[in-house]
Amino acid sequence: MRPKTPFLALLPFLLTAGCLRPETVDDRPAPSFNLPDLTGGRYTLAELRGKVVVLDFWATWCGPCLMEIPHYAEFWRKNRSRGVEVIGVVLDWDEAQEIADFVREHRIPYRQLLGDSAIRDAYGVHQGLPTTFILDRGGVIRKRVLGSPPEKFANLQQSVERFLQETS
């Protein structure tokens, strides 16, 4: 007879997985931030006004986050000249140099900011990583995506197209 332990370990996840909605509509002003980037500077939400923003909260230890990196790089290349900004918010507690080395090693081309518990709390990133937000040109959170569902990047592209059409 097989041991029941692996099933029991997965039971809480299986019970809650059906309850989680990977995509939700938010429609609230994005909390402001002033975060360090990997070049030693700081970056604020105000600098993004007028752009559609994809704000991705992730960590170097998060497997699904790492699998998304090439997709985000492609998404960024496709949309950056159209007024779309992709920003990674790294929620690692490592030193900035370690994260910078990781970003360089994995050739992540889009901007990375060093997150902290204050921004995590302000955006309500408590259910897991990755957690992605889409902000419209006016700085309003229009969509939140939890995790890495298979259709994530097709849906991100559709949302970005729609928000680029809108005026603030």
The answer to whether residue 3 is domain-embedded is no
pLDDT at position 24 is 74
pLDDT at position 16 is 36
At 46-65, the pLDDT tens digits run 999 999 999 999 999 999 99
Domain count, the chain: 1
pLDDT at position 4 is 42
pLDDT at position 21 is 55
pLDDT at position 168 is 52
Structure tokens at 41: 């500077």
Q: Which band of pLDDT confidence, cut at 50, 70 and 90, is reported for residue 6?
A: very low
The answer to whether residue 9 is domain-embedded is no
How many residues can be counted in the chain? Answer: 168
107 torsion bin: left (phi>0), alpha (psi -120 to 50), beta (else): left
The answer to whether residue 104 is domain-embedded is yes
* Residue 8, pLDDT above cutoff 70: no
At 73-93, the pLDDT tens digits run 999 999 999 999 999 999 998
The answer to whether residue 161 is domain-embedded is yes
- Beta strands 52-58 and 42-44: pairing type? unpaired
Q: CA 15 to CA 19: how far, in whole Å?
A: 8
Whole-structure pTM value = 0.85
Q: How many percent of the chain have pLDDT more than 90? A: 79
Domain assignment of residue 141, given as a range: 20-38+49-165
* CA distance to 128, 165, 166, per residue, from 90 (Å): 13, 29, 29
pLDDT at position 82 is 96
Q: What is the CATH number of the domain that holds 94?
A: 3.40.30.10
